[in-house]
Chains A and B, each alone.
Chain A
Amino acid sequence: MSSIDIAVPATRPRRGLTLGPLSTLARRRLRLTARTPRELVVPLLTPIMFALVIAPALHTALHTDTAYEAFVAIGTVGLLIPLNTMFSGLGVIVDRVSGAQRELLAAPIPRGFLVLGNLLVALAITALQVGVLVAAALARGIRFDTSAPGLAWFTAAVVLFTVAMYGMAEILAARVPRQEEYIARVPAIAILPWFLAGALFPITALPTFLTWVAKFLPLTHALALMRYGLDSDRSGLHAIWGLSDPRAMAALSLAVVGTFALLLAVGSLRVFSRSAVR
């Protein structure tokens, strides 16, 4: 049997640890996501339906004022982020079951970069989708009352809540062996809290004990912050904290969402690093 000569040049020195691999991993995830458009489009459908169809319909049927449409439009961001990040988590299972995860684990990079690379793409897609949602709401005639500091509060809430929910998605993907089982858990994580967190109505409209439950949900704090930032609506923050200083209340809620994000981000890095190797 003949053989083929394969010349492999002599080994050269390797570079030190840099962030270059992180951008490589993010680019890879972006390419994979771009080839599965459902990851981009599907999470957007339900929030757009709520913001553009259901909210105006409720406005007409219940004779609410126009501010209600803005209330619901921002509330739908609280559905969009969990749906989008949970869809992103599916990619982790695909990587593990039939993708290149083992190749990535054999690469000379810290394994946490695999999680962080995915997180960067989840953040970018979330930003794109929130932008589309807000633009669609504006096009539908919904008006927001915001300012530069307000946008900063809104952005901080969106980013931190996305980090938290992506951490949740990574942890779930590491714990659940198959896509079917993962998808079965999505409603409990992404949708159930949304109904309790003041997305469609103020949490004070809930029975008292559920109001207290809502106050402990990070999503409630995130939505209250988003409304404060994008629509100068401090009622959500007041319903949680009962203080008079809106900035203090916003800072407290931001601390809650930030702590939630930090815990889940660190947890996801640890869980992935432990579960990816046997």
Chain B
Amino acid sequence: MELAIEAHDLRKTYPAGVEAVRGIDLAVPAGEVFGLLGPNGAGKSTTVGMLTTTIVPTGGTARLAGFDVATEPLAARAVSSVVFQEAVVDRSLTGMQNLELHADLWGVDHREAQARIEELAATLGLGELLGRAVGSYSGGERRRLEIARALVSQPRVLFLDEPTVGLDPRFRAELLDIIAGLRNRRDMTVLLTTHYLDEAERLCDRVAIIHDGRIVALDAPRALLAALGRELVELRIDGDVASALSSLRERGVAGDDAFAVGSRVTVPLHDRRAREAIAAVHELGLTGAISVREPTLDDVYLRLTGGSLATAA
């Protein structure tokens, strides 16, 4: 199996002593869309920074398409492109000039670059924008331009660092369609960082949940969800949440994977029936709102870290 991204015990401690990444192992096969999921400050962008050689690791190793990012940085950069979380463009230059700059720096033949730009502009709806200064673009237009720019050099590894942050819902939906289109490419590996669960579920073949600089779970989204069963009961408890969770466990309603966050107790049902669980709750005299629903990646994240992605982000 050809690996597009490899990392072994990758670490970053900033000079102030902040341990942003505390030993990450990754093995992403070529052609996979891989998600790094976690709240702001979890270490996602630092990991991407180390893989793209803009942040120097303080430990461990990493390779892109076989090239070591520390000892062969030029080769590693030649096979990759990045769409950054913030706007990283020359605003006073036109869209076309920004695209041509990338093509030139990545060594794309001029004629080939023009053909690629034309094709990408048509696909991403940039045709009429390319003659304008990028400073006049809307957020969504600028994002599309940045994705087109990253694709001009035909990267073997594409990094998308929180690509939809700050976009309004319409642009976000548009952009998700575009990124979903990238899934059809089997010779390009995509590493997507996000704190949006729906993005990860929809776009990624596998997801690593990153928390406090460590990967706490790594699997296909469905497999991560399957670990919580098909249904779960969520209780919003009036009173002592910890003792309520203990009572539910003693009664056999909740297993070891039940968890409590704030006033909420979440009980994966697995092979238990929801009706029986609800009856047990009433018998225990627990009061509060009860609901039954399918698990989400947020539940996976809550169980693993004790903090909600949505609130953390």
- A102 contacts B92, C-beta separation under 8 Å: no
Tell me, yes or no, whether A4 is within 8 Å of chain B by CB. Answer: yes
- A109 contacts B182, C-beta separation under 8 Å: no
| Surface stretch bound by B, among A11-19, A44-52, A224-232, A261-269 | A11-19
Interface residues of B in 36-88 (CB under 8 A from A): 49, 52-56, 74-75, 77-82, 84, 87-88
Interface residues of A in 1-56 (CB under 8 A from B): 1-12, 14-15, 17, 20-21, 24-25, 28, 31-32, 35-36
Nearest B-chain residue to A105, judged by Cβ: B54
C-alpha spacing A4/B116, complex, angstroms:
16
Interface residues of B in 172-191 (CB under 8 A from A): 173, 176-178, 180-185, 187-188
CB < 8 Å neighbour of B90 from A4, A17, A28, A110: A28
C-alpha spacing A261/B14, complex, angstroms:
33
- B91 contacts A4, C-beta separation under 8 Å: no
Q: How far is the CB of A29 from chain B (nearest CB, A)?
A: 10
Q: A8-B187, A107-B77, A107-B105 are in contact. Are A1 and B173 (CB under 8 A)?
A: yes
Q: How far is the CB of A53 from chain B (nearest CB, A)?
A: 33
Main secondary structure on A side of the interface with B = loop
Q: How far is the CB of A173 from chain B (nearest CB, A)?
A: 17
Tell me, yes or no, whether A98 is within 8 Å of chain B by CB. Answer: yes
- A1 contacts B107, C-beta separation under 8 Å: no
Interface residues of B in 101-157 (CB under 8 A from A): 101-102, 104-107, 116, 119-120, 123-124, 149, 151, 154-156
- B104 contacts A21, C-beta separation under 8 Å: yes
* Total interface residues in chain A, CB < 8 Å: 40
Tell me, yes or no, whether B170 is within 8 Å of chain A by CB. Answer: no
Nearest A-chain residue to B185, judged by Cβ: A8
**Which 6 A-B pairs rank lowest in CB-CB distance, beginning with the nearest?**
A3-B180, A108-B78, A4-B181, A107-B105, A108-B77, A24-B104
What is the interface of chain A, defined by CB distance below 8 A to chain B? Answer: 1-12, 14-15, 17, 20-21, 24-25, 28, 31-32, 35-36, 98-110, 276-278
What is the interface of chain B, defined by CB distance below 8 A to chain A? Answer: 14, 49, 52-56, 74-75, 77-82, 84, 87-93, 97-98, 101-102, 104-107, 116, 119-120, 123-124, 149, 151, 154-156, 173, 176-178, 180-185, 187-188, 202
What are some 28 contacts across the A-B interface (CB < 8 A)? A1-B202, A4-B177, A6-B123, A6-B178, A8-B151, A8-B154, A9-B154, A12-B154, A14-B106, A17-B74, A21-B104, A31-B97, A35-B92, A36-B92, A98-B91, A99-B89, A100-B89, A100-B98, A101-B88, A103-B149, A106-B77, A106-B80, A106-B81, A108-B74, A108-B75, A109-B105, A277-B56, A278-B54
